[in-house]
A and B are shown apart, each in its own frame.
Chain A
Amino acid sequence: MMVQFIRNFILSFLGSIAPSIAMNIEKRLLLWTGLGGAVGYSIAFALNTSATSLSVSQTFAGAVAVAVYSELMAKKLKAPATVFCVPGIIPFLPGIAAYQTIQSLVENNIQKAAGHAVDTMFKAFTIAFGIMIVTALFRLIRKKRAI
C-alpha cells in the first residue's frame, strides 16, 4: 500500500507539472504547483485506498485540499491563487469522462453515455464547489482581520 501511495504521489506530481508547462506557468512556481496536485491527490487517495477511480466525495476532499494549499501558497509566494489551483486540480478533472460521454453517444450506447455525463457534471461541479467554498472562507477571514 505504501508503494502505491508513493507511486500515486509521484504520478500526480508529474500529472500537475506537465500540463502546467503547456499553460505557461512561471518557472519559479513549477515545483510548487506540482506539490499542490500531489498533496491533493494523495489526500483523496488516502480516504479510500482500495478504489480504482476517485469517487465524488474523494474528489471533493482533494479539491478542497488543493484550494487550501493554493490560498496558503498564494500568500507565501506572492502570486494569485488560481496559478496554483488550475494545475493542482488537473489530476481530478473529468475531461476524459466528458470525452467518453460523447464517444458512447456516437456508439449509440445511450445508457453508458448518460452514466458518463452524470459523472462528468457531478465531478466538475464538485471540484468547482470545493474551490469556491475555500476561496469564500479565506476571503471572509481576510476581511475580518482587516476590520
Chain B
Amino acid sequence: MEQEKILEIAVRAGLMLLSYGGETYRVEDTIRRICSSYNLKCEPFALPTGLFVSAEGEKGVTTICKRVSYRTVDLTKIARINDLSRRIERDRPDFEKITAELDSIAEDKSYSYLTVIISYALTSFTYVLIFGGSKAEALSALIVGVVLGLLRHVFSIDRSFPFIELFIDGLVAGILSPVIARMFSGTNAYIVIIGVLTNLVPGVALTNGIRDLLHGDTVSGLSRLGEAVVIVATIAAGTGVGLFLRGVFS
C-alpha cells in the first residue's frame, strides 16, 4: 500500500478515536500500530483539539494535520476502532476494505432518542437517591431529567456552540427543579438540581485529564482539565441565572 493511503487510514482512525472520547495514548498507539503494520515509520502527536502525524517512507516525509471540532463520548466506536486496529495488525487488509469498515463505524447508529431520554431520567432519579434524597425528590429529578434528555435531542441538530447547550441545560435545571420539587411536600430543590446535573458535569473529562497527566501527556491532560473547569463553570452559571430568574418571578 502507498504511503499516503496508509497515512490516510491511520489519521482517520486516530481522528475518530479522538472525537469519540479515546484517551490520548490510545490515539497515538493506534496510529503507530496501523503505520507499523505496513512498515511505515511515523510519529503521531495528539491533542484533545487536533492531531499531527508525520510519516517517513520511500517518498520522503509526509505530514498531516487535522483539527477536531466536536467531541463526545461513544464507547461502541472506541471499541470497534480498537478492534479494527488489531485486525489491521494481524491480517493487513487492503485500503478499500479498511475504508469501508471505517465508514461503517462512522455510521454506526446509537441508541434511539427515547432510550437516551429514559437514560437521562434514570440517571437523575438514581443519583438523587445515591446522594441521600427522598423518593419525592427523586421523582422530581426524573421529570427534569426527561426535559434535559429532550433538550439534548433538540441541540443534536446543531452542535457548533457546545457551551450554549450546557448553559441552557443548567438554566432549565435551575428554573424547573424548584418548580417541580414544590409540587411535592417536604422536598429540597438543591438535591434535585444536583441529581439532575450529574448528567452534565464533566466527571469523566476530569478523570481522563488526570489519567493523561499521569501518562506523561502533559499538554492534553492540562487542556482536558481546563475544559472540565469551563464546562462546570458554564453549568453553574446556567443554574445560577435560572435560580435567580425563578426568585424574581415568584
A contact residues vs B (CB 8 Å cutoff): 8, 11-12, 14-15, 17-26, 52, 78-80, 82-83, 86-87, 89-91, 93-96, 98-99, 101-103, 106, 120, 124-125, 127-129, 131-132
Task: Give Cα distance in the complex from A25 to B73, angstroms.
Answer: 10
Asked if A124 and B210 sit within 8 Å, CB to CB, the answer is: yes
Asked if A124 and B206 sit within 8 Å, CB to CB, the answer is: yes
Distance between B225 CB and nearest chain A CB, rounded to angstroms? 9
Asked if B23 and A103 sit within 8 Å, CB to CB, the answer is: no
Residue among B75, B201, B210 making CB contact with A25, cutoff 8 Å: B75
* Given contacts A19-B119, A22-B119, A22-B123, A96 and B210 within 8 Å (CB-CB): no
Asked if B214 and A86 sit within 8 Å, CB to CB, the answer is: no
Distance between A15 CB and nearest chain B CB, rounded to angstroms? 5
The contact sample of 19 A-B pairs, CB cut-off 8 A, is A8-B130, A18-B126, A25-B76, A78-B83, A80-B79, A80-B82, A86-B75, A93-B204, A93-B207, A95-B203, A95-B232, A98-B201, A98-B202, A102-B235, A106-B240, A124-B203, A127-B210, A129-B210, A132-B215
B: interface residue count bin: 35 or more
Closest 5 CB pairs of A and B: A93-B203, A95-B201, A95-B203, A21-B119, A128-B210
Asked if B207 and A99 sit within 8 Å, CB to CB, the answer is: no
Distance between B216 CB and nearest chain A CB, rounded to angstroms? 11
Q: Which residue of A lies closest to B74 (CB)?
A: A24
Main secondary structure of the interface of B (DSSP, over half): helix
Asked if A24 and B201 sit within 8 Å, CB to CB, the answer is: no
Q: Does B198 contact A (CB under 8 A)?
A: yes
Chain B hits for A90, CB < 8 A: 203-204
Distance between B17 CB and nearest chain A CB, rounded to angstroms? 11
Asked if B111 and A131 sit within 8 Å, CB to CB, the answer is: no
Interface code B184-221, partner A: CB below 8 Å = 1, 0 otherwise?
00000000001001110111101111110111000000
Asked if A82 and B78 sit within 8 Å, CB to CB, the answer is: yes
Task: Give Cα distance in the complex from A94 to B26, angstroms.
Answer: 24
Asked if A106 and B194 sit within 8 Å, CB to CB, the answer is: no
